[in-house]
Structure 1
Amino acid sequence: MKRGMAESYNRLVNVFVIACDTCIVGGLFHRFYHWAQDTAWEKTLQASEFQIVATLMLCYLLCAMHTGVILYRRKVFAYEVLTRVAKNVVFFAILGGGILQLGGYMDAWSKLFLAYLLAVLVCVSVFRLGLRMLIKAYRTKGGNLRFVVLVGSADNNRELYQELTSQSWAGYRVLGYFDFEPNGNFPQECPYLGKPQEVTDYLKKHGNTHFLFCCLPSKDREVIMPIIDYCENNLVHFYSVPNVHNYLQNRMYFNMMGNVPYLSLRQDPLSRLGNKILKRTFDIVFSLCFLCTLFIPILIIVTIITKITMPGPIFFKQKRNGLNDKEFYCYKFRSMKVNADADKVQATKDDPRKTKWGNIMRKTSIDELPQFINVLKGDMSVVGPRPHMLKHTEEYSKLINKYMVRHFVKPGITGWSQVTGYRGETKELKDMEGRIRGDIWYIEHWSFGLDLYIIYKTVANAVHGEKNAY
């Protein structure tokens, strides 16, 4: 595909996907509308099929245009496509359901509408993943390729080469690299093309080059500027690759403050206002629903058994470190005898301070349920890094690099580390290091879909029981 057609191709795929999604949304409700006839669900429909279908298709179209399509991107993975679909369906449920309910078209709180939304989620996900597979197959066979030239052979460009070529379905073909002399450390399958001064001549002879990545240092400005000028005037996309690997090994992210570019050490999705509002809204709704329903009978049962089995208060509160290292009182059902080491010593497998009833609560995570009060107060979130005792934070922050990064977000009742094997006692330093790596991964990859998955895994683990829960 010619360079001038690239944007048109992306727009065409975007329009095609959204149009097909919208048709799926309309077609599904057409089926649900007719399935509801002559059933109890028919009473939930107060408007004609055309009115409801047209409203839903228009709402979905607006939501899809807002969230966009990413499956045609060259380095996109299935979970990213599914996350985008889930986000889109959530917006659609709120907008479409709200309009249907307020307009008196149908009962948006009915099981019929819920089943319809689940069907939309499944069908749109299957459609987009199927289309993604077709695009990958097309690129793997040599279609829609993008040809790349590298200028400079520093560490960043060597890693970039691996990223560009590691998945053939991404559709990149690296033609070679330029540098002031051949680099023996560069992959042999990537040919040396000459010195940077020869780049423009090469580009003139090879008009099929789409992208040029340059990692030459700024001291070579007089060599770089002619390359930029040629690329800008001949439809070659020029990208500057900062060479920071001589002092920093982790991934970095580009940002803009006004007209000034800068690099950050990690992505921080929860720093965005929209994501903060979404997460906090979910925390409030989820915790309120739980505290006003299931928590009440659980509290009664726990109170009775605790009073029978061990003297002392029902609740246990402990100071822990939260958002921005702010201290707060974390609430739990008391699972141990009253003791002086509660704020200093972590619970162990055969801890003599625990009672049989306390052990049951810990195995099933019942002891953690009062933390929904912390969530409602705003000290915690449903999902996030687990809050640690003040003593642990003081000790581990000195022993583990990047330990304090976990305090950039609110702590959670459950978290990614807890559902991936790092729950419970940290017998060795490597156990806590693994937990911190998981916490940082969660912060960098947060999504609403990820939170829902972690909640599901937490419930599943509680039902089956966890060997590390003690």
Structure 2
Amino acid sequence: MSEYYKTINRMINVLMDYFVLNISWMVVYNLSHHAFYPWMPDKSPLNLILILNLLWLLASNVVGLYRHSQRGPLLVKPIKTLILYIFLTCYVLIVINNEEIYHIDKESLFYATTLFGCLLWLGKYCLYKTAGSSLMIYGETRKAIMLTEGKNGMDFYNRFEKEMIGYELLGLFDDTKPAAEGFVYLGKIDACMTYVIEHKVDEIFCALDPTKRSTLESLIKEAGRNMVRFRLVPQHFDYLQILLPDSLIKGNALSLRYEPLENIFNRIAKRIFDLIFSLLVIVLVLSWLFPIIYILIKMESPGPVFFVQPRSGRDNTTFSCFKFRSMRVNAHADHLQATKDDSRITRIGAFLRKTSLDEMPQFFNVLLGDMSVVGPRPHMLKHTEEYANLIDHFMVRHFIKPGITGWAQINGLRGETKLLDAMRARVEADIWYMQNWSFDLDLKIIFSTFFKTIKGDKYAF
């Protein structure tokens, strides 16, 4: 199950369990008192509810009920958690405290835990049965294929169809057609990338023997070049699962890299920050800065105030990137990179580029959702096409939204790239950011960009 679906499932499970827990105790408590109990005048019921929730929190953490790496039958961990919870509840409410403190007798305790157990089982069962078809909750499915070889690949294929929510498994590629029935056979391994491109496959799950190093390296490069995530299915997954962090485990497969922004909650937090930050900049800064820059640009050279150019965005989708025009109108703007002492750059344009003020309109791109405040810088379409064929993993940087500023920019990896090594270093910095993203890192990049803007960046021209 992908990180997104696992996180959503975990959230739903937690909310559902605490809901049925509290409902069970409130129903039994009120029935035992023959009326809806006046909660506010007497605080003891509230104290009881708090203790019962804390005990469930303790039991679920001890058993590991909500961990992403759950394995085994559906109800094993819930039953273990329920047994531990009942033991803790009886110990706290009967052994440590007498019944008079919380006004709960042994009979009510039995009814409440029994009702909770039944509702817990019913909730887990319903969630399990409806999870695969609840696409309104889980979002759009991702197309996937498998590269298999031998029994390990066949076993994973069967598990995939049963357990991997949010994926549409199109079929498998294998150099030997499986004799068993029930498999959608798509062809031999060397034909898989053609199929991936034609059918716009999102992810490849590879269960090939690790000794086929050259084949694996070639497939990984091709997958990265075509914006397809590549997952490895190791032969000894159960052992590796103990050694590796959950962040690298996707179902029963391993990711090639850790990407914090694959987590839906991290993406939501980043998006909320982008919206708030971009609105503040537009209202508090651009509202008075724009008229000044408008007049200065118009005074120096004829043409539009904004320079709008197609750029490569997330998943290599094209979007219109906004900038203040810093050059005289020319026919080479969409394919010729700016160079030091470029004759096309105007005097006000040189100042805008030196202070990065020419990028300010991109906060509208952030508001529209095409960009983020922090991320890899978006490239011209021509450069994306060129570098994708020259630099390994170049397209990987497009797994996340491009940014107004980024880790590469604050480390001097910006401006003209005369040598291929300069672009490789920029790509490495972008991928490092993608693998090490955190809210603190974004703030660090923003503050560093602000100070460089005030001081003037020698790499900006």
TM-score, scaled relative to structure 2: 0.47
Tell me which of the two structures has the higher relative contact order, counting C-alpha pairs closer than 8 angstroms and 6 or more residues apart: 2
TM-score, scaled relative to structure 1: 0.46
